[in-house]
């Protein structure tokens, strides 16, 4: 695992697997390639956990050393399978498995791009690749060589997003210091441009023209690759004259409570690989407006359990939000159907599905070249 800090969905998925994937006849041994809070979390679960500092990719000597250490660990534990978690994890797992004489599989938790990372990961020895959406699988299949695929949709911690276990929306607003009157339009996302936070900001003038009491609340911290995006969002809100109605709340640990306070939840990413936060919002029974491409389009049936709009289309996003706000019966119907759909993505089911795929990968013959 390349990271030990829970920045996004890939890290959350591993945490869910370790939490719910024990007691299924599997012994997990986790190697983090960077130290962080997830190390102690895994150890607290009783999982054998190692930190193997691989450094940056350009530090070739350290990377080779990390590969050798992982290989030695796999040999000493007689590992049945080495798993590369995410593309960056496979760049160490693939060579380490080859050195150890063990089979390998990896989990493509993003949407593959024809860049050097995805190309190299795809060429490294592996019996196949786990993908988290049909669109992601199709993108992976466009890279060479072709590999066997297992589609394993991520899950969400539905217990944490059970509205019955949370304060009422009104109480959540009071606790969090949010406006007690008016409509709250929420988004939970890292502050990266592809997450589409700016699209919600640009939709706010049209929303406010129809609903002057509306506020947008964005929960999520900065990302190390785009440290200036938050400031750019604030500047854009100011330029559009909507600063008074846009709150950048930063990183928050109690995300379920923040989402419970929201009336409509927006997910505006550009080809989101999956979108665990979409499931979390649906589990709360919230009406969701999400992107019409990528994972959300495989979760939501437009008009039945949510609404879908194209990435980057602020007018379409505004229209979808206002459609929900103007029609309480639609909002109620979407929210009710959303709760039912979310039940299909329980994180316990997810852990079982991952284990089933890994068992098949460990026991099956190499499938390189077979789509």
For CA atoms 11, 14, 18, 20, give the dihedral sign. Answer: positive
- Is residue 104 very low, low, confident or very high in pLDDT (cuts 50, 70, 90)? very high
Please name each of the domains of the chain with its CATH number.
Answer: 9-155+348-363 (3.40.50.2000), 158-344 (3.40.50.2000)
With beta carbons less than 8 A apart as the criterion, state whether 66 and 84 touch.
Answer: no
The whole-number pLDDT of residue 367 equals 37
Distance CA 48, CA 25 (A): 15
pLDDT higher than 70, residue 365: no
Distance CA 167, CA 186 (A): 17
DSSP labels for 241-280? Answer: T-GGGEEEEE--S-HHHHHHT-SEEEE--SSBS--HHHHH
**Token pair for residue 195?**
């997450």
Q: Which residue has the tokens 């159907």?
A: 337
Mean pLDDT over the full length of the chain: 95
pLDDT higher than 70, residue 46: yes
Q: Please compute the mean of the pLDDT values over residues 11-21 and round it to a whole number.
A: 96
Residues 300-349 have pLDDT tens digits of 999 999 999 999 999 999 999 999 999 999 999 999 999 999 999 999 99
**Token pair for residue 24?**
């299924």
User: Which of 22, 302, 258, 287 lies closest to 161 in space, CA to CA?
Assistant: 258
The whole-number pLDDT of residue 366 equals 41
Distance CA 105, CA 220 (A): 32
With beta carbons less than 8 A apart as the criterion, state whether 307 and 357 touch.
Answer: no
Distance CA 291, CA 289 (A): 7
Residues 155-171 have pLDDT tens digits of 999 999 999 999 999 99
Q: Please compute the mean of the pLDDT values over residues 176-196 and round it to a whole number.
A: 96
pTM (two decimals) = 0.92
Residues 241-280 have pLDDT tens digits of 999 999 999 999 999 999 999 999 999 999 999 999 999 9
pLDDT higher than 50, residue 370: no
Residue 134's Cβ-count burial label (10 Å; 0-12, 13-18, 19+) is middle
- Is residue 364 very low, low, confident or very high in pLDDT (cuts 50, 70, 90)? low
Distance CA 33, CA 48 (A): 14
- Is residue 369 very low, low, confident or very high in pLDDT (cuts 50, 70, 90)? very low
pLDDT higher than 70, residue 371: no
Residues 110-158 have pLDDT tens digits of 988 888 999 999 999 999 999 999 999 999 999 989 999 999 999 999 9
**Count of residues in the chain:** 371
The whole-number pLDDT of residue 8 equals 86
Residues 77-102 have pLDDT tens digits of 999 999 999 999 999 999 999 999 99
Q: Please compute the mean of the pLDDT values over residues 12-18 and round it to a whole number.
A: 96
The whole-number pLDDT of residue 58 equals 85
């Amino acid at each position: 695992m390349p990271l030990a800090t829970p920045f996004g969905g890939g890290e959350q998925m591993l945490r869910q697997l370790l939490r719910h994937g024990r007691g299924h006849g599997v012994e997990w041994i986790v190697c983090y390639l960077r130290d962080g809070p997830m190390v102690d979390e895994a150890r607290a679960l009783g999982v054998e956990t190692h930190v193997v500092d691989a450094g940056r990719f350009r530090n070739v000597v350290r990377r080779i050393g990390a590969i050798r250490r992982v290989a030695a660990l796999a040999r000493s534990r007689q590992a049945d399978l080495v798993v590369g978690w995410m593309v960056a994890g496979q760049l160490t797992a693939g060579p380490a498995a080859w050195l150890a004489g063990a089979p390998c599989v990896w989990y493509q938790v993003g949407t593959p791009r024809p860049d050097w990372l995805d190309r190299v990961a795809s060429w490294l020895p592996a019996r196949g690749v786990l993908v988290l959406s049909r669109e992601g699988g199709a993108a992976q299949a466009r890279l060479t060589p072709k590999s066997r695929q297992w589609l394993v949709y991520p899950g969400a911690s539905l217990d944490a997003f059970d509205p019955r276990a949370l304060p009422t929306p009104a109480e959540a607003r009071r606790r969090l210091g949010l406006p007690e009157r008016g409509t709250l339009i929420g988004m939970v996302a890292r502050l990266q441009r592809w997450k589409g936070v700016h699209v919600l900001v640009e939709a706010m003038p049209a929303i406010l023209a129809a609903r002057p009491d509306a506020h947008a609340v964005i929960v999520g911290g900065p990302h190390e690759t785009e440290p200036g995006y938050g400031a750019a969002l604030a500047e854009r809100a100011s330029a559009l004259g909507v600063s008074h109605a846009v709150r950048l709340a930063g990183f928050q640990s109690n995300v379920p409570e923040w989402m419970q306070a929201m009336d409509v939840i927006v997910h505006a990413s550009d080809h989101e690989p999956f979108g665990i936060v979409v499931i979390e919002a649906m589990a709360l029974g919230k009406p969701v407006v999400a992107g019409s491409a990528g994972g959300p389009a495989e979760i939501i049936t437009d008009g039945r359990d949510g609404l879908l709009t194209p990435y980057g289309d602020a007018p379409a996003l505004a229209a979808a939000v206002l459609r929900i706000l103007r029609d309480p019966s639609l909002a109620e119907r979407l929210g009710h159907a959303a709760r039912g759909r979310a039940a299909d993505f329980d994180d316990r089911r997810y852990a079982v599905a991952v284990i089933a795929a890994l068992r098949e990968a460990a026991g099956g013959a190499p499938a390189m070249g077979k789509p």
